[in-house]
Protein backbone atom coordinates (compact mmCIF):
# COMPACT_ATOMS: atom_id res chain seq x y z
CA UNK A 1 0.00 0.00 0.00
CA UNK A 2 1.26 3.43 -0.97
CA UNK A 3 0.78 5.46 2.22
CA UNK A 4 1.04 9.27 2.09
CA UNK A 5 3.80 10.89 4.14
CA UNK A 6 1.99 12.21 7.20
CA UNK A 7 3.34 15.51 8.56
CA UNK A 8 0.38 16.06 10.92
CA UNK A 9 1.10 17.66 14.28
CA UNK A 10 -0.87 15.20 16.41
CA UNK A 11 -2.44 12.74 16.14
CA UNK A 12 0.47 11.98 13.89
CA UNK A 13 2.49 9.30 12.18
CA UNK A 14 2.71 5.92 13.94
CA UNK A 15 5.26 3.34 12.72
CA UNK A 16 3.53 1.15 10.18
CA UNK A 17 4.93 -1.99 11.88
CA UNK A 18 3.09 -0.93 15.04
CA UNK A 19 -0.17 -0.47 13.15
CA UNK A 20 0.29 -3.88 11.56
CA UNK A 21 0.90 -5.56 14.91
CA UNK A 22 -2.17 -3.86 16.38
CA UNK A 23 -4.27 -5.03 13.42
CA UNK A 24 -2.93 -8.57 13.53
CA UNK A 25 -3.49 -8.90 17.28
CA UNK A 26 -6.65 -6.89 17.66
CA UNK A 27 -9.05 -9.84 17.51
CA UNK A 28 -6.89 -12.54 19.07
CA UNK A 29 -4.29 -11.10 21.44
CA UNK A 30 -1.30 -13.43 21.72
CA UNK A 31 -3.48 -16.53 21.22
CA UNK A 32 -5.80 -15.75 24.12
CA UNK A 33 -8.79 -15.92 21.77
CA UNK A 34 -9.82 -12.42 22.91
CA UNK A 35 -8.79 -8.88 22.19
CA UNK A 36 -6.66 -7.10 24.75
CA UNK A 37 -9.28 -4.35 24.75
CA UNK A 38 -11.88 -6.85 26.04
CA UNK A 39 -9.81 -8.11 28.95
CA UNK A 40 -9.99 -6.86 32.51
CA UNK A 41 -7.50 -4.16 33.35
CA UNK A 42 -7.00 -6.01 36.64
CA UNK A 43 -6.21 -9.31 34.93
CA UNK A 44 -2.80 -10.84 34.41
CA UNK A 45 -2.62 -10.33 30.66
CA UNK A 46 -3.30 -6.60 30.65
CA UNK A 47 -1.33 -6.27 33.89
CA UNK A 48 1.79 -7.41 32.09
CA UNK A 49 1.29 -4.86 29.29
CA UNK A 50 0.79 -2.12 31.90
CA UNK A 51 3.94 -2.95 33.86
CA UNK A 52 6.06 -3.46 30.76
CA UNK A 53 4.99 -0.09 29.37
CA UNK A 54 6.00 1.69 32.57
CA UNK A 55 9.28 -0.27 32.65
CA UNK A 56 10.05 0.74 29.06
CA UNK A 57 9.46 4.43 29.82
CA UNK A 58 11.77 4.11 32.82
CA UNK A 59 14.43 2.38 30.78
CA UNK A 60 14.30 4.56 27.66
CA UNK A 61 14.12 7.84 29.57
CA UNK A 62 16.49 6.78 32.35
CA UNK A 63 13.92 7.67 35.02
CA UNK A 64 15.61 7.72 38.46
CA UNK A 65 14.39 5.31 41.17
CA UNK A 66 12.83 8.04 43.27
CA UNK A 67 10.35 9.05 40.54
CA UNK A 68 6.93 7.60 39.72
CA UNK A 69 5.68 7.09 36.18
CA UNK A 70 1.93 7.60 35.82
CA UNK A 71 -0.27 6.75 32.84
CA UNK A 72 -3.33 8.99 32.87
CA UNK A 73 -6.21 10.16 30.70
CA UNK A 74 -7.25 13.73 29.89
CA UNK A 75 -4.35 14.71 27.66
CA UNK A 76 -1.72 17.28 28.48
CA UNK A 77 -4.62 19.70 28.78
CA UNK A 78 -5.74 18.08 32.02
CA UNK A 79 -2.17 18.48 33.30
CA UNK A 80 -2.43 22.25 32.78
CA UNK A 81 -4.97 22.18 35.65
CA UNK A 82 -3.90 19.11 37.58
CA UNK A 83 -0.35 20.37 38.04
CA UNK A 84 -1.27 23.57 39.93
CA UNK A 85 -4.05 21.77 41.81
CA UNK A 86 -1.42 19.45 43.26
CA UNK A 87 1.70 21.57 43.46
CA UNK A 88 0.61 25.18 43.85
CA UNK A 89 -0.47 25.72 47.47
CA UNK A 90 -2.14 28.88 48.75
CA UNK A 91 0.43 31.49 49.66
CA UNK A 92 2.88 30.43 46.96
CA UNK A 93 3.04 31.26 43.29
CA UNK A 94 4.21 29.39 40.21
CA UNK A 95 6.71 30.67 37.64
CA UNK A 96 5.88 30.17 33.98
CA UNK A 97 7.83 30.89 30.82
CA UNK A 98 5.50 32.09 28.10
CA UNK A 99 7.08 30.61 24.98
CA UNK A 100 3.97 30.35 22.83
CA UNK A 101 0.47 29.01 22.37
CA UNK A 102 0.87 25.93 24.59
CA UNK A 103 2.68 27.69 27.40
CA UNK A 104 -0.09 30.29 27.33
CA UNK A 105 -2.73 27.62 27.78
CA UNK A 106 -0.80 26.20 30.73
CA UNK A 107 -0.57 29.71 32.22
CA UNK A 108 -4.28 30.43 31.77
CA UNK A 109 -5.26 27.23 33.55
CA UNK A 110 -2.78 27.74 36.39
CA UNK A 111 -4.18 31.25 36.97
CA UNK A 112 -7.55 29.66 37.74
CA UNK A 113 -5.92 27.77 40.60
CA UNK A 114 -3.46 30.22 42.15
CA UNK A 115 -0.79 32.87 41.75
CA UNK A 116 1.24 32.86 38.55
CA UNK A 117 4.39 34.81 37.65
CA UNK A 118 5.26 34.97 33.99
CA UNK A 119 9.03 35.34 34.26
CA UNK A 120 9.68 35.51 30.51
CA UNK A 121 7.21 36.55 27.87
CA UNK A 122 7.93 35.86 24.22
CA UNK A 123 4.77 37.62 23.00
CA UNK A 124 6.56 40.83 21.98
CA UNK A 125 8.81 38.83 19.63
CA UNK A 126 5.84 36.86 18.33
CA UNK A 127 7.20 33.74 20.00
CA UNK A 128 10.18 33.36 17.69
CA UNK A 129 12.71 33.36 20.52
CA UNK A 130 13.47 31.80 23.91
CA UNK A 131 15.43 33.25 26.83
CA UNK A 132 19.03 32.33 27.55
CA UNK A 133 18.65 29.29 29.84
CA UNK A 134 21.33 30.72 32.15
CA UNK A 135 19.21 33.81 32.75
CA UNK A 136 16.34 31.82 34.25
CA UNK A 137 16.03 32.24 38.00
CA UNK A 138 12.93 31.25 39.94
CA UNK A 139 11.09 33.87 42.01
CA UNK A 140 11.61 33.71 45.79
CA UNK A 141 8.12 32.37 46.44
CA UNK A 142 7.90 29.90 43.56
CA UNK A 143 6.36 26.47 44.12
CA UNK A 144 7.68 25.34 40.73
CA UNK A 145 8.91 26.74 37.42
CA UNK A 146 7.17 25.61 34.24
CA UNK A 147 8.60 25.36 30.73
CA UNK A 148 7.24 23.96 27.48
CA UNK A 149 10.17 22.07 26.00
CA UNK A 150 8.79 22.25 22.46
CA UNK A 151 6.16 24.66 21.16
CA UNK A 152 4.24 22.58 18.64
CA UNK A 153 2.56 25.54 16.96
CA UNK A 154 5.43 28.05 16.99
CA UNK A 155 8.14 25.52 16.08
CA UNK A 156 10.34 26.56 19.00
CA UNK A 157 12.37 24.16 21.17
CA UNK A 158 14.60 24.47 24.21
CA UNK A 159 17.98 22.96 23.30
CA UNK A 160 19.55 23.45 26.73
CA UNK A 161 17.38 23.57 29.82
CA UNK A 162 17.60 26.17 32.59
CA UNK A 163 19.58 25.07 35.61
CA UNK A 164 18.72 26.27 39.10
CA UNK A 165 18.30 24.87 42.56
CA UNK A 166 15.65 24.83 45.25
CA UNK A 167 12.54 24.95 43.05
CA UNK A 168 11.28 22.00 41.00
CA UNK A 169 11.31 22.49 37.23
CA UNK A 170 8.18 21.23 35.50
CA UNK A 171 8.03 20.53 31.78
CA UNK A 172 5.35 20.01 29.20
CA UNK A 173 7.15 17.62 26.84
CA UNK A 174 4.10 16.73 24.79
CA UNK A 175 5.70 17.27 21.43
CA UNK A 176 9.29 16.17 22.04
CA UNK A 177 9.20 13.44 24.65
CA UNK A 178 11.64 10.65 23.83
CA UNK A 179 12.84 12.47 20.73
CA UNK A 180 16.19 13.06 22.44
CA UNK A 181 17.93 12.10 25.68
CA UNK A 182 16.83 14.18 28.68
CA UNK A 183 18.17 14.14 32.22
CA UNK A 184 14.90 13.42 34.03
CA UNK A 185 16.60 14.04 37.38
CA UNK A 186 16.70 17.76 36.59
CA UNK A 187 12.91 17.96 36.57
CA UNK A 188 10.40 17.69 39.39
CA UNK A 189 7.67 16.70 36.99
CA UNK A 190 7.36 15.98 33.27
CA UNK A 191 4.10 15.48 31.41
CA UNK A 192 3.30 14.60 27.82
CA UNK A 193 0.42 13.32 25.75
CA UNK A 194 1.30 10.27 23.65
CA UNK A 195 -0.12 11.32 20.31
CA UNK A 196 3.00 12.86 18.80
CA UNK A 197 6.05 10.73 19.43
CA UNK A 198 4.53 7.77 21.24
CA UNK A 199 1.40 6.51 19.51
CA UNK A 200 -2.33 7.21 19.40
CA UNK A 201 -4.06 9.78 21.62
CA UNK A 202 -5.65 8.70 24.88
CA UNK A 203 -2.79 8.31 27.32
CA UNK A 204 -0.70 10.96 29.04
CA UNK A 205 2.59 10.23 30.76
CA UNK A 206 3.38 12.00 34.03
CA UNK A 207 6.80 11.49 35.57
CA UNK A 208 6.97 12.89 39.07
CA UNK A 209 9.61 13.00 41.76
CA UNK A 210 8.22 11.00 44.70
CA UNK A 211 9.08 13.76 47.14
CA UNK A 212 6.45 15.96 45.44
CA UNK A 213 3.67 13.40 45.90
CA UNK A 214 3.16 14.41 49.50
CA UNK A 215 2.22 17.94 48.40
CA UNK A 216 -1.11 16.94 46.84
CA UNK A 217 -3.96 18.38 48.92
CA UNK A 218 -6.56 15.91 50.20
CA UNK A 219 -9.54 18.02 49.17
CA UNK A 220 -9.20 17.68 45.40
CA UNK A 221 -11.03 15.00 43.40
CA UNK A 222 -9.35 11.61 43.62
CA UNK A 223 -8.66 11.38 39.91
CA UNK A 224 -6.99 14.78 40.06
CA UNK A 225 -4.58 13.71 42.78
CA UNK A 226 -1.13 12.52 41.67
CA UNK A 227 -0.54 10.56 44.86
CA UNK A 228 -3.74 8.54 44.33
CA UNK A 229 -2.47 7.39 40.93
CA UNK A 230 1.04 6.76 42.19
CA UNK A 231 -0.24 4.56 45.06
CA UNK A 232 -2.37 2.55 42.62
CA UNK A 233 0.40 2.31 40.01
CA UNK A 234 -1.97 4.03 37.54
CA UNK A 235 -4.71 1.43 38.08
CA UNK A 236 -6.86 3.61 40.32
CA UNK A 237 -9.53 3.47 37.62
CA UNK A 238 -9.75 1.86 34.18
CA UNK A 239 -6.73 3.03 32.23
CA UNK A 240 -6.86 3.70 28.46
CA UNK A 241 -5.79 0.15 27.67
CA UNK A 242 -5.69 0.43 23.90
CA UNK A 243 -3.54 3.57 23.92
CA UNK A 244 -1.19 2.04 26.47
CA UNK A 245 -0.83 -1.14 24.43
CA UNK A 246 -0.10 0.88 21.28
CA UNK A 247 2.37 3.08 23.17
CA UNK A 248 4.17 -0.03 24.40
CA UNK A 249 4.66 -1.14 20.80
CA UNK A 250 6.01 2.30 19.85
CA UNK A 251 8.37 2.25 22.84
CA UNK A 252 9.64 -1.19 21.76
CA UNK A 253 10.22 0.29 18.34
CA UNK A 254 12.26 3.16 19.80
CA UNK A 255 14.29 0.63 21.79
CA UNK A 256 14.92 -1.40 18.65
CA UNK A 257 16.13 1.77 16.89
CA UNK A 258 18.74 2.25 19.61
CA UNK A 259 16.86 4.41 22.15
CA UNK A 260 16.62 8.17 22.66
CA UNK A 261 20.20 9.00 21.60
CA UNK A 262 19.93 7.14 18.29
CA UNK A 263 16.50 8.59 17.58
CA UNK A 264 17.81 12.10 18.37
CA UNK A 265 20.59 11.74 15.82
CA UNK A 266 18.12 10.97 13.04
CA UNK A 267 15.75 13.68 14.23
CA UNK A 268 18.48 16.33 14.12
CA UNK A 269 19.55 15.22 10.67
CA UNK A 270 16.00 15.37 9.32
CA UNK A 271 15.42 18.83 10.79
CA UNK A 272 18.79 20.20 9.63
CA UNK A 273 18.06 19.12 6.05
CA UNK A 274 14.66 20.74 6.04
CA UNK A 275 15.87 24.04 7.56
CA UNK A 276 18.69 24.07 5.04
CA UNK A 277 16.18 23.68 2.21
CA UNK A 278 14.20 26.63 3.60
CA UNK A 279 17.22 28.85 4.23
CA UNK A 280 18.76 28.18 0.83
CA UNK A 281 15.57 28.90 -1.12
CA UNK A 282 16.59 32.50 -1.83
CA UNK A 283 13.74 33.79 0.32
CA UNK A 284 11.03 31.81 -1.46
CA UNK A 285 10.52 30.01 1.88
CA UNK A 286 11.40 31.54 5.23
CA UNK A 287 11.43 30.29 8.80
CA UNK A 288 10.69 33.05 11.34
CA UNK A 289 12.21 31.26 14.35
CA UNK A 290 15.60 32.23 15.83
CA UNK A 291 18.08 29.63 14.54
CA UNK A 292 19.25 28.78 18.05
CA UNK A 293 15.81 27.54 19.06
CA UNK A 294 14.36 26.01 15.91
CA UNK A 295 12.45 22.88 16.70
CA UNK A 296 13.61 19.47 15.48
CA UNK A 297 10.01 18.29 15.75
CA UNK A 298 7.83 20.99 14.17
CA UNK A 299 9.39 22.95 11.33
CA UNK A 300 7.40 26.09 10.49
CA UNK A 301 7.80 28.34 7.48
CA UNK A 302 6.00 30.81 5.24
CA UNK A 303 6.14 31.41 1.53
CA UNK A 304 7.40 34.82 0.42
CA UNK A 305 4.14 35.13 -1.44
CA UNK A 306 1.63 33.98 1.17
CA UNK A 307 -1.07 33.83 -1.50
CA UNK A 308 0.71 30.81 -2.92
CA UNK A 309 0.33 28.79 0.27
CA UNK A 310 -3.08 27.37 -0.66
CA UNK A 311 -1.59 26.12 -3.93
CA UNK A 312 1.37 24.69 -1.99
CA UNK A 313 -0.95 22.59 0.19
CA UNK A 314 -3.02 21.47 -2.77
CA UNK A 315 0.00 20.39 -4.83
CA UNK A 316 1.80 18.77 -1.90
CA UNK A 317 -1.29 16.69 -1.10
CA UNK A 318 -1.40 15.50 -4.71
CA UNK A 319 2.26 14.54 -4.31
CA UNK A 320 1.33 12.40 -1.29
CA UNK A 321 2.58 14.81 1.37
CA UNK A 322 -0.17 15.59 3.84
CA UNK A 323 -0.67 17.60 7.05
CA UNK A 324 1.55 20.53 6.03
CA UNK A 325 -0.86 23.31 6.92
CA UNK A 326 0.26 25.41 9.89
CA UNK A 327 -1.97 25.63 12.96
CA UNK A 328 -5.17 27.54 12.23
CA UNK A 329 -4.21 30.23 14.76
CA UNK A 330 -0.99 31.21 12.92
CA UNK A 331 -1.34 29.98 9.33
CA UNK A 332 1.69 29.24 7.15
CA UNK A 333 3.27 25.83 6.72
CA UNK A 334 4.38 23.29 9.28
CA UNK A 335 6.00 19.89 8.89
CA UNK A 336 5.83 17.79 12.03
CA UNK A 337 8.71 15.38 11.72
CA UNK A 338 8.37 13.30 14.86
CA UNK A 339 10.41 10.16 15.61
CA UNK A 340 8.30 7.92 13.40
CA UNK A 341 8.50 10.13 10.34
CA UNK A 342 11.24 8.59 8.24
CA UNK A 343 14.13 10.49 6.65
CA UNK A 344 12.83 9.48 3.19
CA UNK A 345 9.65 11.41 3.98
CA UNK A 346 11.65 14.57 4.66
CA UNK A 347 13.65 14.00 1.46
CA UNK A 348 10.42 13.78 -0.50
CA UNK A 349 9.20 17.03 1.05
CA UNK A 350 12.48 18.80 0.24
CA UNK A 351 12.34 17.62 -3.36
CA UNK A 352 8.74 18.78 -3.65
CA UNK A 353 9.59 22.20 -2.19
CA UNK A 354 12.42 22.68 -4.67
CA UNK A 355 10.17 21.70 -7.55
CA UNK A 356 7.38 24.00 -6.35
CA UNK A 357 9.66 27.01 -5.95
CA UNK A 358 11.25 26.38 -9.36
CA UNK A 359 7.81 26.43 -10.99
CA UNK A 360 6.43 29.42 -9.07
CA UNK A 361 9.55 31.36 -8.19
N1 LIG B 1 1.11 20.87 25.08
C2 LIG B 1 1.68 20.81 23.85
C3 LIG B 1 3.09 21.27 23.68
C4 LIG B 1 0.94 20.31 22.77
O5 LIG B 1 1.48 20.27 21.56
C6 LIG B 1 -0.40 19.88 22.98
C7 LIG B 1 -1.23 19.32 21.86
N8 LIG B 1 -0.95 19.68 20.61
C9 LIG B 1 -0.94 19.99 24.26
C10 LIG B 1 -0.13 20.46 25.29
C11 LIG B 1 -2.34 19.57 24.54
O12 LIG B 1 -2.38 18.20 24.52
P13 LIG B 1 -3.72 17.35 24.54
O14 LIG B 1 -4.42 17.59 23.25
O15 LIG B 1 -3.19 15.96 24.70
O16 LIG B 1 -4.51 17.77 25.71
Instruction: Give the pLDDT of residue 1.
Output: 76
Q: Within 13 Å and on the Cβ side, how many CA atoms surround 275? A: 21
ω into 11 cis (within 30 of 0): yes
Decide whether any atom of ligand 1 lies within 6 Å of the 172 Cβ.
yes
Rounded CA separation 227/229 (Å): 5
- Examine the residue annotation and report whether 102 is marked as an active-site residue of this protein: yes
Q: Which residues on adjacent β-strands are paired with residue 207?
A: 69, 190
CA of 105 to the centre of ligand 1 (A): 9
- When pLDDT is averaged across residues 52-67 and rounded to a whole number, the result is 98
> Is the shortest distance between the CB of 148 and ligand 1 below 6 Å?
yes
What confidence category does residue 306 fall into, taking pLDDT thresholds of 50, 70 and 90?
A: very high
Q: How confident is the model over 249-274, as a mean pLDDT?
A: 98
The total number of residues shown for the chain amounts to: 361
pLDDT per residue over 82-91, tens digit each?
999 999 999 9
User: pLDDT tens digits, residue range 273-290?
Assistant: 999 999 999 999 999 999
Catalytic residue list contains 218: no
Is 95 annotated in the active site?
no
Ligand 1 centroid, distance to 177 Cα (angstroms): 12
96, with CB counted inside 10 A (0-12, 13-18, 19+), is: buried
d(CA 58, CA 66): 11
Ligand 1 contact, 68 CB (< 6 A) = no
pTM of the entire structure?
A: 0.98
| Ligand 1 center from residue 272 Cα (angstroms) | 24
Nearest to 5 by CA among 361, 329, 331, 317: 317
Amino acid sequence: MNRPVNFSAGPSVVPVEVLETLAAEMVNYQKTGLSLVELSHRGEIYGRVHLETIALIRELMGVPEDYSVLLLGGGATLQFSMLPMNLLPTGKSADYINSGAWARKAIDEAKKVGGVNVIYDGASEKYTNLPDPKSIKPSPNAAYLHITTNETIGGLQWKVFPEFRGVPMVADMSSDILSRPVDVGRFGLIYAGAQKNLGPAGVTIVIIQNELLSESPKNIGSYLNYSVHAKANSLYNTPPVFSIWAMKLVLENIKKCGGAAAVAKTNMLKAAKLYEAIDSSGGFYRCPVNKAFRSDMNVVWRLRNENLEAKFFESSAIAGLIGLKGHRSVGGCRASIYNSLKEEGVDRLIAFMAEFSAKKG
